[in-house]
């Protein structure tokens, strides 16, 4: 029997039509929808008199525009209209929606797994590039544009050319105080922002196997920042344990049957990938990005690069431009860089373990003067759970703001933003120019590193900052 990767297994199982010289027609098992990239798709259906083929495989929520201070006070008329439009569209087309009133609401890539909608072996799409998050469960999950959203709504399928398979093997185990976020940032720093273009990544290795589901989600979430179509991890006992008992997962005997099938999905021993890269986990330090794309990052004990050290003209210019935007002097130790804002949240790092890691650092300490720090849970369920554990009080006592769930300052489509020229330690996924506000300077870090930066007022190595380990 041919040995196959999980990618090939899922691909083959979902191929509806395969004709020579054409992409494959893939069936989509789950379509997540949000307010920003769907209105034009629903409008397309209306104009052509079409319906949603499988409302039962479609699930909508609101996250990008939602205010996190008081979600019912939406001052931005256009944002409000976009959310109202989603409600109207879902009602008209019979799609389930976790709206602002729903206890299930939250960031789309947080609630999919939380509700158990995300399951191994599924094909999952959403009009959002961070759909790769769901790959943590051994699903083939990728972001699509609005035309494709319309296509999936109408047909429950997509034409897709088969991407190449790319194994990213994380050898060894993580040192104490180094997190999943640091691994994925280090991978992107090492291999670049487009090493995954045209490929689906499977993350393998001991460090990945030892991760919790929440950690795996952080890793897969940023696959798109490596340019990959998707990133996934073969499911195992950790996956099944996480899913057991969740709302949309089969229950009882049916669950055991599902697990048997899910077990078959894992990449066969000896299966070949088109390409493999490796990274040594034990060599990874807590990461901080210094530039304007996620590959421009260094270990916390490193220095900001100096363009003079680079021979290639293109590299020199890219570094100069990034340092200029970021307002950084070449060769500055990153631990000398002060921050004015700290954001803990986003589909990358807003789950319980992220909040616990940040709270562990914040506990009994105070946010430095002049720093505004906020914690934004990924879903309303996480918010309630964190409050039940008293984490909100830990944060509030330390001087952090405690908010309601939403995308918040990850992309600042809502009232949360960083003012021009100011600097933010952020647990989100993109440090692009203007991402957190026009002229805002974003440094990507893990939740523990962000909390430590809030207390110190600058970047510090969380491992020496606190004796408490992050794991």
Which residues here bind other proteins, judged by CB under 8 A? Answer: 16-17, 21-23, 25, 27, 29, 36-37, 39-40, 43-44, 48, 50, 54, 57, 64-65, 76, 78-79, 81-82, 85, 127-129, 142-148, 150-151, 154-157, 159, 161, 163, 193-194, 197-198, 224, 227, 229, 293, 314, 318, 411-413, 420, 430, 432-435, 438-439
User: Least separation, in Å, of the C-beta of 54 and other proteins?
Assistant: 8
Cα–Cα distance list, 263 to 109, 243, 441 (Å): 23, 13, 44
Q: Is 252 left (phi over 0), alpha (psi -120 to 50) or beta?
A: left
CB atoms closer than 10 angstroms to residue 283:
12
User: Least separation, in Å, of the C-beta of 147 and other proteins?
Assistant: 4
For other proteins, give the closer residue by CB, 227 or 377: 227
User: Least separation, in Å, of the C-beta of 423 and other proteins?
Assistant: 18
For other proteins, give the closer residue by CB, 3 or 51: 51
User: Least separation, in Å, of the C-beta of 407 and other proteins?
Assistant: 10
Which residues lie across from 23 on neighbouring strands? none
**Alpha-carbon gap, residue 414 to 432, rounded angstroms:** 17
**Alpha-carbon gap, residue 444 to 442, rounded angstroms:** 6
User: Least separation, in Å, of the C-beta of 467 and other proteins?
Assistant: 38
User: Least separation, in Å, of the C-beta of 174 and other proteins?
Assistant: 27
User: Least separation, in Å, of the C-beta of 298 and other proteins?
Assistant: 18
For other proteins, give the closer residue by CB, 86 or 368: 86
User: Least separation, in Å, of the C-beta of 344 and other proteins?
Assistant: 20
For other proteins, give the closer residue by CB, 88 or 338: 88
What backbone phi and psi angles, to 5 degrees, belong to 254? -60, -35
User: Least separation, in Å, of the C-beta of 80 and other proteins?
Assistant: 9
For other proteins, give the closer residue by CB, 27 or 459: 27
- Which residues, 6+ apart, have CB-to-CB distance to 225 below 8 Å? 184, 188, 193, 294, 295, 429, 430
User: Least separation, in Å, of the C-beta of 197 and other proteins?
Assistant: 6
**Alpha-carbon gap, residue 429 to 407, rounded angstroms:** 11
For other proteins, give the closer residue by CB, 255 or 325: 325
For other proteins, give the closer residue by CB, 18 or 464: 18
For other proteins, give the closer residue by CB, 36 or 358: 36
User: Least separation, in Å, of the C-beta of 408 and other proteins?
Assistant: 12
User: Least separation, in Å, of the C-beta of 309 and other proteins?
Assistant: 19
For other proteins, give the closer residue by CB, 175 or 434: 434
- C-alpha 85, offset from chain centre: 25
For other proteins, give the closer residue by CB, 403 or 430: 430
For other proteins, give the closer residue by CB, 284 or 407: 407
For other proteins, give the closer residue by CB, 427 or 466: 427
Contact between 60 and 98 under an 8 Å Cβ cutoff? The reply is yes
């Amino acid at each position: 029997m041919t040995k196959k990767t999980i990618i090939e297994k899922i691909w083959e199982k979902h191929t509806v039509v395969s004709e020579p010289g054409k992409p494959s027609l893939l069936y989509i098992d789950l379509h997540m929808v949000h307010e920003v990239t769907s209105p034009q798709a629903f409008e397309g259906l209306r104009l052509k008199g079409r319906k949603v083929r499988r409302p039962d495989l479609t699930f909508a929520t609101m996250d990008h525009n939602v205010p996190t201070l008081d979600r019912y006070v939406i001052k931005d008329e256009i944002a409000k209209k976009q959310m109202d439009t989603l409600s109207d569209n879902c009602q008209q087309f019979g799609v389930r929606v976790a709206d602002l009133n729903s206890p299930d609401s939250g960031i789309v890539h947080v609630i999919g797994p939380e509700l158990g909608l995300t399951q191994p072996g599924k094909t999952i799409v959403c009009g959002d590039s961070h759909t790769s998050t769901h790959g943590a469960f051994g699903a083939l999950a990728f972001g699509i544009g609005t035309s494709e959203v319309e296509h999936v709504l109408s047909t429950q399928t997509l034409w897709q050319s088969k991407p190449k398979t790319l194994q990213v093997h994380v050898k060894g185990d993580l040192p104490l105080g180094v997190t999943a976020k640091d691994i994925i940032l280090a991978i992107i720093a090492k291999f670049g922002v487009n090493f995954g273009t045209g490929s689906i990544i499977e993350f393998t290795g001991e460090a990945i196997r030892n991760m919790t589901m929440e950690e795996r989600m952080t890793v897969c979430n940023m696959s798109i920042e490596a340019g990959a179509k998707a990133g996934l991890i073969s499911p195992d006992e950790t996956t099944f344990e996480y899913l057991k008992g969740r709302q949309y997962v089969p229950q009882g005997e049916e669950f055991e049957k599902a697990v048997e099938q899910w077990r078959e999905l894992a990449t066969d021993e000896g299966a070949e990938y088109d390409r493999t890269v490796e990274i040594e986990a034990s060599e990874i330090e807590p990461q901080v990005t210094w530039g304007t794309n996620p590959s421009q990052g260094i270990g916390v004990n490193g220095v900001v690069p100096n363009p003079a050290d680079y021979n290639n003209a293109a590299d020199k210019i890219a570094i100069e431009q990034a340092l200029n935007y970021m307002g950084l002097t070449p060769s500055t130790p990153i631990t000398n860089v002060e921050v004015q804002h700290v954001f803990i949240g986003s589909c990358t790092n807003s789950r319980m373990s992220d909040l616990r890691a940040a709270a562990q650092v914040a506990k009994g300490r105070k946010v430095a003067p002049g720093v505004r720090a906020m914690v934004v849970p990924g879903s309303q369920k996480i918010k309630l759970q964190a409050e039940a554990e008293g984490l909100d009080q830990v944060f509030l006592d330390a001087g952090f703001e405690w908010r309601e769930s939403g995308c918040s300052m990850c992309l600042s489509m809502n009232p949360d933003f960083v003012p021009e020229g100011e600097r933010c330690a952020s647990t989100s996924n993109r440090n692009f120019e203007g991402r957190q506000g026009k002229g805002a300077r974003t440094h990507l870090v893990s939740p523990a590193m962000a909390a430590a930066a809030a207390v110190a007022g600058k970047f510090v190595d969380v491992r020496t900052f606190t004796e408490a380990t992050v794991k």
